[in-house]
Amino acid sequence: MYPLLFLQQNPTNSIALFAPYLLIGLVFYFLLFLPMQRQKKKTADMLANLKPGDVVITSGGIQGQVTAADSDTIILKVKPDGVKLQFSRAAVTALVPDGSK
């Protein structure tokens, strides 16, 4: 009967057991998922607000000036010959700031 005293377990708080997992989940949310959501929203806003005259960079590295913008496509005028290329809006990765045209 004496060894049975050592086999008895103390009741533990279930919240204390899951607290480290909740903490890890919160860290992942604030360090990974929240910044990704902000970046996606920023990119979507940039793509929605493209207008003629904006200088953009595509995913292929082509830099050009937007001459026309449709709902799902844009036409870029590329230097030095002024060649016009048609791209999907999704191909635009960055908007070049005004000072570096």
Of the candidates 71, 65, 68, 64, the one whose C-alpha atom is nearest the C-alpha of residue 90 is: 71
Alpha-carbon gap, residue 90 to 36, rounded angstroms: 17
17-69 pLDDT, tens digit per residue, is: 888 999 999 999 999 999 999 999 999 999 999 999 999 999 999 999 999 99
Written as one string, the DSSP assignment of 16-63 is HHHHHHHHHHHHHIIIIIHHHHHHHHHHHHHHHT--TT-EEEETTS-E
Predicted structure pTM score: 0.69
What are the φ and ψ backbone dihedral angles of 89, each rounded to 5 degrees? -60, -30
Q: What type of residue is 51?
A: K
31-40 pLDDT, tens digit per residue, is: 999 999 999 9
